[in-house]
Structure 1
């Protein structure tokens, strides 16, 4: 594994840690102020931070978002999915616990990632799914079943 790949995997592990911490904190917030109000708070804080980072760090020329929406409105569905996931994860964690919710979410990520890679969806190049990858996916799914039982 080269240094660039190692750095990428390190960042991804940190992203996994950050995602789990975010889900935990959002769940605690939801239990304190309510599920929908917590979703609103999380997204307002994210909007403010994104706006500040945009103003401070972005200096390129931008296409108006309206023309991007007209070309491909599907690109904006990530925001809908993000908002729904904040609410659903907060709800699930408070009902089944942090570990079971996180592991089950990861199973969903494996499933859709496997399909995207193997089918070449969304314009990605098809990735050959080897026997070892198939065995790994089955093992992960079996492990998830053991965890949530």
Structure 2
């Protein structure tokens, strides 16, 4: 239940972030917005880290390099989302983004990539993903 609540909160914030970032980019441009978003996020995360300090920072050297570049995806996410919102509107952009997220997560889980537990694909799951794709297409009409 707690995981579902965090997922719900994340989904709400992704939508709001995209819209706010698109509006900010109207004034200062896409790349400046992307830089500001990450500067603000870094400042907030560092402030929380300085207060919490759970001692896990010492394990930093054990993290594979590939996972250290995960934050770079955030740059692509922010810029792509704000650009998509400008071009096709918030609802369409988020609908496509969500299907892309679910499809990617589905692929990663089904293959067991990046240390995720391999979960076999069921016909019902494949049908669900197909229905979501069809929904996005219908939404665009």
Same fold (TM over 0.5): yes
Give me the TM-score of the superposition, normalised by structure 1: 0.87
Separation (CA, whole Å) in 2 of partners of 1:135 and 1:143: 12
Aligned to 1:91: 83
Aligned to 1:106: 98
Residue number among 6, 10, 13 corresponding to 1:15 in the alignment? 10
Shift of 1:61: 5.1
What residue ranges of structure 1 are gaps of 5+ in the alignment?
1-5
Runs ≥4 residues deviating over 2 A: 61-65
Aligned to 2:47: 52
The equivalences for 1:23-62 within 5 A come to: 23-60=18-55, 62=57
Separation (CA, whole Å) in 1 of partners of 2:6 and 2:18: 18
Separation (CA, whole Å) in 1 of partners of 2:125 and 2:78: 30
Count of aligned positions? 141
Summarize the Cα distance change of 1:137–1:56 in structure 2 as closer, same or farther, 3 Å threshold: same
What residue ranges of structure 2 are gaps of 5+ in the alignment?
none
Summarize the Cα distance change of 1:59–1:126 in structure 2 as closer, same or farther, 3 Å threshold: closer
RMSD: 1.6
